[in-house]
Every structure is written in C-alpha cells, then in structure tokens.
Amino acid sequence: MHCGRHFTLADGVNDVRIVGLSLVNGFAYSGTSAVAEGGCVLMGKDASLSLFNVQLRNCQAQGRGGAVFVGSGSALVVRNTAIDDNSADVDGGGTYVYQGSMEADNSSVSGNSAGNDGGGICLDKGSLSVVASLINSNSANNGGAVSAVLGSSVTLYESTVSGNTATGNGGGFNVMGSRLTASQSSINSNVALDGGGAFVTSSSCVHLVEGSSMDRNVAANDGGGLCLMYASNFMAMISSINDNTAGSNGGGLKAFISCIITLDQGSSANSNTAGMRGGGVNIFTYKCLNEISKFIHGYGIHANLPCRGEYMLAWIQYTCIRSCSLSLSLALPLSFPLCLYVLTHKYTCIYMHVHVSS
C-alpha cells in the first residue's frame, strides 16, 4: 500500500541528512493542492540533502521523480544508498533533476521505470556524478538508465550501466544537447529501438576513456552500441565498442549528419553485427559541405566474425576520413562476402589490412 510523500524540503533548506532509514511506498499524486513530483522526497529550490545508507524503494510519482525530485539549484548526495523499484508516470523513475545536481557514490539505481524519459534518472539542465555505483534493470521510453537533455552533464567513474531497456532511444543513455563522460566504466548489455548503449543527438558529446566499454548492447534498428545524430561527437580512448548488434545499420556505431568520431589506437570496435549495412560502423551524411561527418583516427576496427547483411566491416558515405585504419582477421574458407563500401567527400586516407589464414 502506498502512503503519501515522506519528506518535503522547502526552498532554501540546507544540510539535511538522512541516515540508515528505509523509505518505502511513498506516493506523490495530482490533486487540487498536491504536487505530483517526488514520490518519496520533494526538494524545492536551492536546497541540499544527503542520504547515507538509505533505501528508497517502491515509491511512485504521477509526475516526475518516482523517488526524488531535485528542484532548481538544489543538490542531492547519495552514498551507500539504494534507489530501487520506483516509478514515475512521466520522467525520472528513480530521480528527476531539474537545474540541480546529483552525486551517487557506492550506490545503486535499479529496477526503476518511467513512462517517458529516464527510467533510472532524468536530467533537465542538471548534472550527475556517479562513482563506484550500479545503474541497472531500469526502463523507459527514452533513456532506459539515464536521460540527459538541454545542457546536462553526466560523469561516470568505475561504474556499471547494464541491463537497461528503452522502447525508443537509448537503452543505456539518451543524450540530447548534453555531455557524457565515462571513465573506467562499462555501458553493457542494454537494449533499445535505436542506440542500444546510447542515443546521442543535437550537438552532444560522448567520451569513453581509460578502459571503458560499450559492449554487448542491442538496437532493434540502428546503432547497436551507439547511435550518433546531428552534429554530435564521440571519442573513445583505450576503450571498446565490441559485440554489439543492430537489426538494421551500424552494429557498433551509426552516425548521421555532421558528426565527429574518433577512436584512438588503444580502442577497438570488434565483432559487431548489423542486419543491413556496416557491421562495424555505418556513417552517412548528406553531401552539403556543412553536413559532412568526420571520422578521425579510426584505429582498431576489426570484424573477427562474419556479420549478417552487406558490407560487414563498414558503410561510409559522404564522409571526411583521415587516418582510418580498418583491419580484418579471417579464416578460410569464407562463407560470406568481404565488402567495404566507402563513398567519401575529400581528404580521404584509408588503410585496410586483411589477414587471411587457412
């Protein structure tokens, strides 16, 4: 049975700490005098709250923030805390952050759901820092784990984002006009319609660094690991985009219109699969000069297994490519076509190495 909301922090209330409590079955509903935000905790403007060794479970909001709603200018810190099995009818099944901030350390955000965006966490012009934490098994229409929009920022360190589901875009992350940086973290085994690991659009930026991974994600349509759209950019440094699957295009990565993709020599895009074009990568732009994508230093793109469909390694069209090294290791006999499709604009320098063993 759901009760009402457990806590409401008024505007300007600071340095509130909750330690060692189990907060369950909170409910924020719409009514003549009720606010349907924050099923367990509602934070007003310019407030601060720290949760230590707390459980927020089975709470519900008819609006945003199944467990917690963080208002403008407010700061939420959670340590050794579980935000699990909560739901929001609109956005932010676990937490909704509006022009505020959230820090999670050694905590979990699991099993939450949202009707629209951000099954685990939804950021609207907000910031999120996640350290040594787990975000898993959340679900939403967009951003199964996290949705970050309109100038938001997300930083992951030594954390795992896995097993999340989106019926629309971004099984792990939905990033729109925002920034995501993952360091020594994994974004693995997430599922979406487009962008199994992440859906990135509207001049957004994603960096995978220091041994991070975006592996074993699945997209029913495009971008098994990552779907990059509209002037966004992606950089992988000593990181992997391996074993992802797309039902249509770009098993590892799909990029469309004015995007920049950089893989350094310590990164890999291996054993990805696409049902149609570009088992490794699918990069397509229109021919207009201001809509040319750039694929810079694309090292370590390997296809160690045959993928379904045509152009198993890469489909690259109307794209500026610099220092792109595509390599493929195969064993005879071949039971599939070996094809690389490249239609570039200019400044093209592609090195393809094929090693065949009997």
The answer to the question of residue 77 being in a domain is yes
Q: Is 140 helix (H, G, I), strand (E, B) or coil?
A: strand
Residue 249 within a domain: yes
Quick check: is 119 in a domain? yes
The answer to whether residue 301 sits within a structural domain is: yes
Q: Please report, for residues 50, 56, 96, 184, 248, the alpha-carbon distance to residue 14 in angstroms, rounded to integers and kept in the order given.
A: 10, 20, 19, 33, 50
Q: How far apart are CA 143 and CA 192, in angstroms?
A: 9
Q: Tell me the residue type at 179.
A: R
DSSP secondary structure letter of residue 151: S
Amino acid at 132: A
In a domain, 1, yes or no: no
Which whole-number Å values give the CA distances from 232 to 198, 200, 324, in the listed order?
12, 7, 19
Q: What is the pLDDT of residue 349?
A: 41
Token output for 17: 């700490």
Confirm whether 2 is domain-assigned. Answer: no
SS3 161: strand
**Residue 348 falls within a domain, yes or no?**
yes
Question: Shortest CA distance to 134 belongs to which of 160, 155, 112, 157?
Answer: 160
Count the domains in the chain: 1
pLDDT score of 311? 40
Q: What is the pTM of this model?
A: 0.87
Residue carrying the six token digits 């992951």: 156
Host domain of residue 177: 7-357
65 falls within a domain: yes
- Tens-binned pLDDT, residue by residue, of the chain (358 aa): 567 899 999 999 999 999 999 999 999 988 655 689 999 999 999 999 999 999 999 999 999 999 999 999 999 999 999 999 999 999 999 999 999 999 999 999 999 999 999 999 999 999 999 999 999 999 999 999 999 999 999 999 999 999 999 999 999 999 999 999 999 999 999 999 999 999 999 999 999 999 999 999 999 999 999 999 988 888 889 999 999 999 998 888 888 887 888 877 788 888 888 888 777 787 765 433 333 444 433 444 544 333 333 344 555 554 544 444 444 443 444 444 444 444 444 444 444 444 444 4
User: Do the Cβ atoms of 176 and 203 come closer than 8 Å?
Assistant: no
